[in-house]
Homo-oligomer: A and B are copies of this chain.
Amino acid sequence: MVGIREIAKRANVSISTASYAINGSSKVKTETRDRILAIANELNYIPNMAGRTLKKQKTNLIGVYLTNYGGAFYGELVSGIHDFLHQHHYDVIICSSERAHTFIPEKMVDGAIILDSTFSTEKIESYAARGHQMVVLDRELSHQNVCSVLLDNRGGAKKALLALEKKVTKKIYLVTGPPGTYDSNERLAAAKKCLEERKLSYEVILGDFSKESGRQAAREILQKSEKEVGIFCLNDEMAIGMYSVFQKSNWKIGKDIHIVGFDNIEVTHYLRPRLTTIDYSKSDWGKAAAEKIYFMLNGKQPSNQLVDVKLKGGKSVGSI
């Protein structure tokens, strides 16, 4: 294959000039650049990641795998990941598709951060067995090549219920995320345990973390329940959906119905009454994940981490 050396020679320029021209640097005059590019094209020169990867066995890329691109807190999370890694000379690529999983065994990325329910634990284990290093944000997994940075979902659920219990004596509804998702399962298990210990009446309504499922749950509660009940929505999106239904009913949020969410996403700051929810720093979560993968790639064995959460009080839980 033709190398940059030959292009430089034919163009009668230095190797660095040829390299600048090919990489589109403004350090080379347009005229010179065009001449170099014409020679490169003529010789069918292919600069590529491939060559670099084979030589260095490293791409300095970290793959961040998300279930989809729509999550309200992804921006802050990914910014937290990016900022840390960029400072440490790694670049981040964000992926969301099954085919992109193969970037890991193909060594297109040096490591991965995973918050992707479509990424099977079996596959992660198999990559780990091959020596690939990963940080998981959405499951527990014990392997020397995998480190987890998880939200304190159980602690958050307890705090949410503690807030509700003070105001609600009748019944508490738990509205879940999609079945099988780690965050939803953890929050639900902790909430049920809490309520059973305190012998409080509760009912589980199946949701899917979307606003629409929140609206459906609200309509169901309006239909079958009396006033003065509490709702723990396992994420904020569903709580936002609920607001739109209750605000059209004669049930007053914070009086007839008490709602707690989870995530403290930006939109909830503009709800009236303001939503009581479970808060955590999305960018700190991202930063912690970035630190772990960075340490792992540099031969260290960091320990798993739990990300602190706290109650963010709002008027959606009021006094009866």
Contacts and interface: CB of A to CB of B under 8 A. Distances in A.
Nearest to A270: B270
A267 B72 CA distance: 11
A169 interface: no
Given A70-B76, A79-B70, A270-B271, A126 B46 contact: no
A106 B34 contact: no
A272 B271 CA distance: 9
Nearest to A100: B91
Contacts of A92: 95-97
A24 B99 CA distance: 12
Nearest to A66: B94
A130 B40 contact: yes
A249 interface: no
A115 interface: no
Interface in A57-99: 57, 68-72, 74-76, 78-79, 82, 86, 91-97, 99
A48 B54 contact: yes
Nearest to A46: B107
Interface string A296-313: 000000000000000000
25 contacts: A21-B126, A23-B105, A24-B122, A25-B123, A34-B129, A41-B130, A48-B54, A48-B108, A49-B49, A49-B53, A49-B106, A49-B107, A50-B50, A69-B79, A70-B75, A70-B79, A71-B75, A72-B75, A74-B75, A75-B75, A82-B97, A91-B100, A94-B95, A108-B108, A266-B267
